[in-house]
Chain A
Amino acid sequence: MSTVPEVRLPRRGRSRAGSGLSGREAMLLLIPALLPVVILSVLPLVRGIYLGFTDSRAGLGVPTNFIGLDNFRALLEDDLFVNSFKIGLIWSVSVTAIGFVFALGLALLLTQNLRGRWLARSLALVPWAMPAVVVGIMWKLVFQPQAGILNETLRRGQLPGETTDWLSSFSWALPAVILVGVWAGMPQTTVALLAGLQSIQDELHEAAAVDGASTWQRFRTITLPQLRPVIIAITTLDFIWNFNSFGLVYVLTEGGPAGKTQLPMLFAYSQAFEYGEFGYASALGSAMVVVIAVVLVFYLWGRLKETT
C-alpha cells in the first residue's frame, strides 16, 4: 500500500480523509438528512424543553405563557408523578438486571456445542421482529386468568396461584409486566453479549485451563473482565430504553391496576393527550431526562471506579 507515497500529491482544497471529499461536497450530501433532522428533531427537542416552562395546553388558539419553574414545583407535589417515577425505576432496573442475567446465561449456552441451540438462538431473536403491541397481546393471552396457559399449567402442576388474575392484581401486575419486558428485551442484549463472548481469545481460556483454573474461576477472572465494556454499554442502553418504554405496558395494563404499572411515559402520555396538559407533560419529559442522566452518572462512575 505505502510503497510509493511520494507520488501522491496532496490535492488542494480536499479533506484529510482518503476519498478526497471537499467541504462543499460533504455539505451537499449531508443536507438531505440534516434538514429534516434539524426541523423535525433538533428544533422540536429544544421547543419541547422550553414548553416545560410554560402553561401550554392542547386546544387551538389557547395562549401559552411562560411560567418559570411552576410545572416542576407542581411535579414534586404530584403523588401520581412520584409514583410513576418510582415504578419506572423499579421497572427499568429490574428489566435491565434480570434481562442481563438471562441474556448472559443464554449467550454462554449458545457458545457451547449443544444440540438444539440454533432453535434457542432463533427464538431469542423473534421478539426483535415483533411489534410491541403484539408482544403485549400475546402475554395477555398467557396471563389470562381463566383461559390462559399460565394458570392452566399451575392447575395441572397443582401449584398455588392458579386463580390469580395476574395483570389486575395489586401485587402481581408489576412483576408480570417486568417478566414481559425481560422477554421483549432478550434479542438485543443476547446479541451484544454473544458478540462480546466471541471476541474473547480462546488462548486466555486455554492458558487458564492449563494452570488448573476451574470453569467458575475462568468465568470470573477471564470472561467477565473481558466482557466489561460490552456489559456496561448494553446495560446502559437497556436502562434508557426501558425507562422510556411505552407500547408494551400500554397494551398489557394501561398503567393499572390503580397506577401499579404506571410507567413515566404512560403518565406523560395521559397528561398530554388525555388531559391536554402539554406544558406539564413536557416538564415530565425533562424530568425523565434528568433522572436517566443521574442514574447513568452514578452507574458509570461506579463502574469506572471499579476498574481503577
Chain B
Amino acid sequence: MIVTARPKRTKSFQYVVLFGYLVFLGFPLLWMLSMSFKGPRELVELYPSFIPEDFTFENYRTALTEDDHQLVRNGINSLKVAVVTALLTTMIGLPAAYVLARRRGVITRLGLGWILISQMFPLILIIIPLFLLLRDLKLTNSHIGLVLVYVVWALPFILFMLYTYVRAIPPDLEEAATVDGATRFQILIGIIAPLLLPGIVVTTLFAFITAWNEFFFALVILESPDLTTLPLRLAQYVGIEGVVRFGPLAAAALLATVPSLLLFVFIQRWLTGGLLSGAVKG
C-alpha cells in the first residue's frame, strides 16, 4: 500500500480500531491468567477486579497435585500420544509427499483430491466405523488405538505441508544423483531430507500440536482416567462446577496450553510463510 498524504483523522481512527482488536483478542487470555492467580476468597467476590488483589500460586499447586497428581499423569499421556503421532505422521508422510510433488498423474491427483475431501467429512461418519474396528482389535481405551486414529487424521494436512516444501526444491540435484546410480531411498535420505530439514521440523511440531490439542477422538476412544489426555481431563473438570473451582481450572487450562503455545511461537514464522508460498503458487 502506498502512503499518500493521509489525513491525521484516518490514522487515529485506525489506532482506535486496532485497540478494539487488541481488547477482543487479548482480554479473554488476560482474564484467564488473572483468575489463575486469585485466591479462593477473591474468586467468589461479587465485584471481581482485573488484577488479583491477593496474588497466589495456590491454584497451580492445587491443579498439579490434586487427585494424586492426576493432571501430571494426564500431561504425560498427552506427551506420549503427541510425540508418537508427530513422528509417525512425518515418517510416513515424507515419502508420500515426495511422490506427490515429483510425479504428475493419476496418483497425485487422487492424493491431492483425497486431502481436500478429507477436510469436508464430519468426523461422526468416520468415528463410528473406526470405533467398531478398534473394538474388534481390542484397541479402544488404549493409546495405540488413539495414535492410529491421530496419524490418519493428521496426515492429510501434514502431507499437504510437506508437499509444498518438496515442491520448492528443484529436482536437478536428484537427477544428478540418479545418474550416479543412487537408489531412491538414498536420494530421499541423503538429498531431500537434509534440504527439507526446516520443513520437516515445522511439520513434525505442527503434528505434535494438532495431537496435543485434540479432543473429540480422545473423548470417544479413551475411558480410563489413567489413560485420559489433557483436553479430556480439562473438559471433565468443567463439569465439576462451583465458582471456587475456577481458579484451579484456569491454572490447569493455562498449563495445558503452554507446550503447544511455545512450539507454535517457534514455528509460526515458517508456518505462515510456508503456507503463504504454497497458497500463492497454487
Q: Which residues of A contact B (CB under 8 A)?
A: 15-21, 25-26, 28-30, 32-34, 36-37, 40-45, 47-49, 51, 56, 60, 102, 105-106, 109, 111-114, 116-117, 119-120, 123-126, 128-134, 136-142, 144, 146-149, 152, 155, 183, 186, 191-192, 195, 198-199, 202, 205-206, 209, 215, 230, 237, 240-241, 243-244, 246-247, 250-251, 264-265, 268-269, 272-273, 278, 281-282, 284-286, 288-289, 292
Contacts and interface: CB of A to CB of B under 8 A. Distances in A.
B235 A251 contact: yes
B240 interface: no
Nearest first, the 9 A-B pairs at minimum CB distance are: A129-B264, A285-B125, A33-B96, A44-B129, A29-B95, A18-B171, A131-B213, A123-B25, A48-B125
Nearest to A135: B28
A102 B18 CA distance: 11
A40 B95 CA distance: 19
A241 B157 CA distance: 14
Given A20-B174, A105-B17, 17 more contacts: A20-B175, A36-B148, A41-B153, A45-B121, A49-B125, A119-B22, A120-B22, A131-B214, A133-B232, A134-B231, A140-B238, A141-B246, A209-B4, A241-B119, A268-B122, A269-B220, A286-B125
A155 B43 CA distance: 17
A147 B174 CA distance: 62
A142 B31 contact: yes
24 contacts: A15-B104, A17-B171, A19-B174, A21-B102, A29-B99, A34-B96, A40-B149, A45-B126, A113-B3, A114-B18, A119-B22, A125-B272, A137-B250, A144-B243, A144-B246, A147-B45, A147-B246, A186-B25, A209-B4, A243-B122, A265-B123, A265-B124, A269-B124, A285-B121
B17 A109 contact: yes
Contact of A125 (B29, B114, B215, B264): B264
A114 B76 CA distance: 42
A268 B126 contact: no
A215 B187 CA distance: 53
Given A48-B125, A273-B220, A141 B31 contact: yes
A48 B131 CA distance: 11
Nearest to B127: A272
- From DSSP, what is the main secondary structure of chain A's interface residues? helix
Given A129-B264, A244-B123, A40 B130 contact: yes
Contact of A45 (B43, B48, B125, B212): B125
B257 A183 contact: no
Contacts, number: 296
B256 A152 contact: no
**Residue of B43, B124, B129, B276 ringed by the most chain A CB atoms within 10 A:** B124
**Residue of A19, A32, A102, A132 ringed by the most chain B CB atoms within 10 A:** A19
Interface string B106-132: 010000001000111111111111101
**Residue of B26, B28, B46, B234 ringed by the most chain A CB atoms within 10 A:** B28
Nearest to A278: B128
Contacts of A106: 21
B184 interface: yes
B72 to A, nearest CB: 17
Contact of B257 (A16, A124, A131, A281): A131
Given A44-B126, A141-B31, A191 B275 contact: yes
A138 B1 CA distance: 37
A26 B220 CA distance: 36
